[in-house]
């Protein structure tokens, strides 16, 4: 918003609030770019976020499958090797011989060497044994700290407590029994170390007879998942919810048949444990974490012969790419809004620099300096506009010079015309005074006439001087009662109007207060009233009345004369306009208008429908007064 200012014609106006070109450019760029960028970006954010989320979860599931692959391969190898050994001819012959009570030393050695070769090639088994139906060892190979060895006949167990043997002996030819994953133990004893093992057992049949079983103990410790994913944890659980392997050693092997640490899936995950133990695998969100589950089967899944490998990580870590992308998106979106604004500022600055120069040039010309020239070298329309502006300034300068010469001419003509007659009269009177035959009375009369003509000349010169000084720089505004100000004016004007045979009716509101320079305002109003009285003529009436409102004071001066001629109505306040008057400089109304405009007011002239002219003077109220008003008057004032 721009402040209240005074226009050059004296009309006080308020400049409307406007939007600058820079702001318009910013808005255009913002409204043209930002919605599209925002719409595309929002759609891209949703699509990319879903894609990144799915990719992150898929990567987690693939990692779970990758971690489970060594264990699955070990189970597949164990099943295949157990089935193979149960079908080997020498193994069956050794079982037949042992069942018949014959010497089997050489055959046992040959079978043991076969066991040893398989174990060394697979790199998986810690023990391979051949048991008869009663559970006695008939051949055995072990892998210990000292390496692989064939167990001598004297060290073979006469009776092995093998709980899995009854189930194995019931299997058909080629069937394989796979034990659950557990810590290594000797037969049915308590765990003997930290090795995780799986036992594979296949029945040895020949001629429809069950002759024993081949039992392979696979050490799968190195095939269990070793590391955490995205700072989380990886673990195996059995169908009952007991932890088997875990990246946190204090939680691992929590079942009652292992270390019995007390940790359980239900205790850690509550009702979500049932989802984790599903044998179909998948992704479970729970307690701020994401779990990718993958079942590893070693038999009939419906019978619970499986374990579940779980890869757990915090949701924040897994979805970090989504978070990073969203952060990047908001940065891009912010830039997409800020960039048009900055572009608008840059373009506005680029365009407004020559416009600012043009505006400053216009202001300078408005202040009367027509020597202003603009130097705009933008090689565009602004440069052409600057050239036109400079040409306009030169033309205005020429016009002003012509106008000044015309004013000086009119002033000289007026002064010469109005002063010529009084000077001629003074010349004649001086010649009469020079004659000695004049009586004393005649001399006194001539002296009086000389004084009157001199005062007439002085009055004309004073009007010209007042006109030249009628600018606003000398206005000292004080608060006055309008009734008192006009009462002083009536005292001054009533005798002069009476000499013209004109009656003045002063109808002034008693409670009106006006902000004005009293002396100059009385002079301005006096000029208008005297002008109205002279135009009305003898027997006429001039009415002066006032109106008050919160915005200002209105003074209306109406006369009963012939009115303002049509040809000069629009030029009534021009200087040196003396239409229909024998005497005067034509500066009275021009001085009045200049003084009223200096107060921030306006003066208008029109003809009344019932006859006569009417002059309307409006003066605004002001909030600040000069410090130069007399202190003893109680008036408030401001310097304009």
Q: Kind and range of the H or E element at 412?
A: helix 381-434
pTM of the model: 0.51
> Residue 548: what pLDDT?
84
- Which two structure tokens, joined as six digits, stand for 131? 């048991």
- Largest Cα separation within the chain, whole Å, is 197
Within 13 Å and on the Cβ side, how many CA atoms surround 579? 16
Pairing of strands 233-237, 306-314: antiparallel
Sheet containing 552-559: order of strands:
503-507, 541-549, 552-559, 613-620, 602-607
How far apart, in Å, are the Cα atoms of 489 and each of 329, 518, 524, 589? Answer: 78, 10, 11, 17
How far apart, in Å, are the Cα atoms of 393 and each of 186, 359, 396, 398? Answer: 114, 13, 5, 9
> Residue 85: what pLDDT?
92
Measure the CA–CA gap between 462 and 321, rounded to whole angstroms: 90
**Which ranges of the chain have pLDDT less than 50?**
1-17, 471-473, 631-640
> Residue 528: what pLDDT?
87
Measure the CA–CA gap between 327 and 565, rounded to whole angstroms: 79
DSSP 418-452: HHHHHHHHHHHHHHHHH-TT--HHHHHHHHHHHHH
Strand runs (DSSP E) across 132-242, as ranges?
137-144, 147-150, 177-178, 182-185, 191-206, 209-219, 233-237
Pairing of strands 552-559, 613-620: antiparallel
**341-394 pLDDT, tens digit each:** 676 667 666 666 777 777 777 777 777 676 777 777 767 677 777 788 788 878
Sign of the C-alpha dihedral computed for residues 433, 435, 440 and 442 taken in this order? negative
> Residue 474: what pLDDT?
60
For residue 591, count CB atoms less than 10 angstroms from its CB and return exposed for 0-12, middle for 13-18, buried for 19 or more. buried
**Phi, psi of 187, deg, nearest 5:** 60, -120
């Amino acid at each position: 918003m721009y402040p209240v200012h005074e226009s050059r014609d004296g009309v006080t106006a308020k400049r409307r609030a406007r939007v600058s070109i820079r702001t318009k450019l910013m808005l255009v760029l913002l409204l043209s770019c930002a919605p599209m960028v925002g719409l595309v970006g929002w759609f891209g954010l949703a699509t990319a976020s879903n894609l990144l989320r799915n990719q992150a979860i898929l990567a987690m599931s693939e990692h779970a499958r990758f971690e489970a692959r060594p264990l699955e391969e070990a189970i597949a190898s164990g099943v295949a090797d157990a089935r193979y050994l149960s079908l080997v001819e020498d193994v069956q012959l050794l079982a037949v011989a042992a069942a018949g009570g014959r010497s089997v030393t050489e055959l046992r050695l040959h079978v043991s060497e076969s066991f040893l070769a398989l174990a060394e090639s697979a790199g998986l088994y810690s023990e391979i044994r051949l048991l008869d139906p009663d559970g006695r060892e008939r051949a055995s190979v072990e892998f210990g700290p000292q390496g692989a060895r064939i167990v001598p006949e004297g060290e073979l167990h006469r009776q092995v407590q093998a709980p899995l043997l009854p189930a194995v002996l019931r299997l058909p030819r080629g069937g394989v029994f796979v034990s659950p994953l557990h810590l290594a133990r000797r037969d049915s004893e308590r765990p003997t170390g930290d090795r995780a093992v799986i036992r594979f057992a296949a029945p040895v049949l020949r001629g429809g007879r069950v002759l024993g079983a081949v039992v392979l103990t696979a050490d799968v410790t190195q095939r269990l998942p070793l590391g955490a994913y995205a700072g989380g944890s990886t673990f195996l659980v059995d169908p009952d919810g007991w932890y088997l392997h875990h990246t946190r050693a204090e939680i691992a092997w929590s079942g009652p048949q292992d270390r019995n640490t007390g940790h359980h899936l239900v205790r850690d995950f509550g009702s979500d444990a049932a989802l984790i133990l599903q044998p179909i695998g998948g992704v479970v969100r729970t307690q701020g974490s994401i779990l990718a589950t993958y079942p590893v089967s070693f038999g009939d899944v419906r019978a619970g012969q499986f374990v579940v490998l779980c890869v757990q990580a915090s949701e924040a870590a897994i979805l970090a790419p989504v978070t990073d992308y969203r952060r990047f998106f908001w940065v891009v979106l912010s830039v997409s809004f800020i960039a048009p604004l900055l572009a608008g500022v840059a373009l506005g600055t680029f365009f407004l620099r020559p416009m600012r120069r043009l505006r400053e040039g216009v202001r300078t010309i408005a202040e009367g300096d027509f020597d202003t020239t603009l130097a705009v070298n933008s090689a565009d329309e602004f440069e052409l506009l600057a050239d036109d502006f400079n040409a306009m300034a030169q033309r205005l300068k020429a016009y002003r010079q012509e106008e000044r010469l015309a004013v000086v001419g009119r002033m000289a003509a007026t002064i010469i015309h109005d002063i010529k007659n009084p000077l001629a009269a003074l010349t004649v009177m001086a010649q009469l005074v020079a004659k000695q035959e004049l009586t004393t009375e005649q001399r006194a009369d001539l002296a009086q006439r000389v004084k009157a003509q001199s005062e007439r000349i002085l009055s004309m010169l004073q009007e010209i001087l007042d006109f030249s000084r009628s600018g606003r720089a000398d206005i000292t505004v004080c608060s006055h009662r309008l009734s008192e100000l006009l009462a002083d004016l009536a005292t001054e004007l009533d005798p002069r109007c009476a000499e013209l045979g004109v009656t003045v009716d002063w109808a002034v509101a008693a409670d009106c207060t006006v902000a004005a320079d009293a002396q100059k305002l009385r002079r301005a109003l006096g000029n208008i009233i005297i002008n109205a009285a002279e135009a009305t003529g003898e027997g006429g009436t001039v009415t002066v009345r006032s109106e008050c409102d919160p915005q200002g004071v209105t003074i209306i001066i109406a006369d009963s004369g012939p009115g303002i001629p049509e040809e000069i109505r629009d030029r009534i306040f021009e200087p040196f306009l003396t239409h229909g008057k024998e005497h005067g400089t034509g500066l009275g109304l021009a001085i009045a208008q200049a003084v009223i405009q200096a107060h921030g007011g306006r003066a208008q002239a029109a003809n009344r429908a019932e006859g006569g002219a009417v002059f309307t003077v409006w003066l605004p109220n002001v909030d600040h007064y000069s410090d130069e008003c007399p202190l003893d008057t109680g008036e408030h004032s401001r310097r304009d």
